[in-house]
Amino acid sequence: MLANSVPTLIEFSEDYIEPIFGQRRPALFLFRSKSDSDSAYSKVFEQASSNLKGQILFVVSGVTEGIQQRLGEFIGVDEKSLPTLRLLDPADNMKKFTYGGSLDTLTVEDVQKFVDDFKNKNLQPFLKSEEIPPQTGDALKIIVGKNFNQVVLDNDNDVFVKYYAPWCGHCKKLAPIWEELANEFKDVSGLTIGKFDATANEVEGLEIRGYPTLKFYPKGNKSAAVDYDGGRELEDFKKWIREHSSAVKNHVEGKTEL
C-alpha cells in the first residue's frame, strides 16, 4: 500500500515531484483543461481515486503553465491531446502508457482495468515521436522515434547519431560541427550521420542519460553500439570515423584504386 502522505487526488505541482518521481511511485495522470474540471470523466476519475486509493497515485494536470507544461512535454501531451489518461512508471525507466478508450464513457471499472492491466504487464508502452520528416537530401539526417529502426538498426549502414536536447548548451555548440561532419562524409555510401531530439522522441530499450550523447552503430553488429567519448572538434570526429567506419574505409580504398 502507498503511504498516506499525499492526498487521494493530487493537483500536480512541484510539491509532488518527490512523492512521484523521487520515490518512484507509479501514477495515473488525467490531463485536462481547467474548464473540464466538472466534466463527467473528471468526476469518474475522482471517484476512482477514492476507490483505488493505495493501488496507484491519482494526479490531475493541465499542460499550459509552469511545471504542468513541463510534465506534459515530458510525457508527450499537449493541448491537442486533451483530455487524455496516461500512466507513468518511474520505477521502470519512466515507461508511459496511454488509456485507449474514450473518456466520454469512462467508468470506475475502466480505470480499475487499466490499472490492473498495468500491474499484470498487459500494456504496451507509449513512445513519444515527432512525425517522420520529408526527405530533403540533406547530408545530416533527422531521426525520430517512428523511423529510428529503419534509419539506425534495420539496414546495412554504419550510423553515427547525436542524441540531443534543444535547450542543452553543449548541444547547441556541437550543432554546426555535427552538420559540417555530415557534409564532410555525404558522398560515402553506407554511412549515415544523424541527429535525434531525445526530448521529443523515444525508442524502447534506449535510455539517454545525458546530452549530447553520441553513439556509433557499426554495420553488421548494431547491438554493439559504441559510445563516442573523444574530442568534440571536427577533426576529432573525422579521425575517429576514418578509424571506425568500414564504409569510410571502403570509400577511401575505392578512390585509391581509381
> What does the mean pLDDT of the chain come to?
93
pLDDT digits (tens, 9 = 90+) for 80-128: 999 999 999 999 988 999 999 999 999 999 999 999 999 999 999 999 9
Q: What pTM value is reported for the model? A: 0.77
Residues of the chain above pLDDT 70, percent? 97
Instruction: Cell 510525457: give the residue.
Output: 75
pLDDT confidence of 5, banded at 50, 70, 90?
Answer: low
Whole-angstrom distance, CA of residue 82 vs CA of residue 101: 13
The predicted pLDDT at position 258 comes to 44
pLDDT recorded at residue 256: 58
pLDDT for residue 202:
92
pLDDT of the residue at 211: 96
Tell me what percent of the residues of the chain surpass a pLDDT of 90.
86
Stretch 8-25: mean pLDDT, rounded?
Answer: 91
Q: What domains sit in the chain, N to C, each tagged with a CATH number?
A: 9-119 (3.40.30.10), 140-257 (3.40.30.10)
Q: What is the pLDDT of residue 2?
A: 45
Looking at residue 3, what is its pLDDT? 46
User: Each residue of 183-233: pLDDT tens digit?
Assistant: 999 999 999 999 999 999 999 889 898 999 999 999 999 999 999 999 999
- Sorting pLDDT into bands at 50, 70 and 90, what band is 7? confident
Q: How confident is the model at residue 68 (pLDDT cuts 50, 70, 90)?
A: very high
Strand order in 140-143's β-sheet?
140-143, 191-197, 158-164, 213-217, 226-227
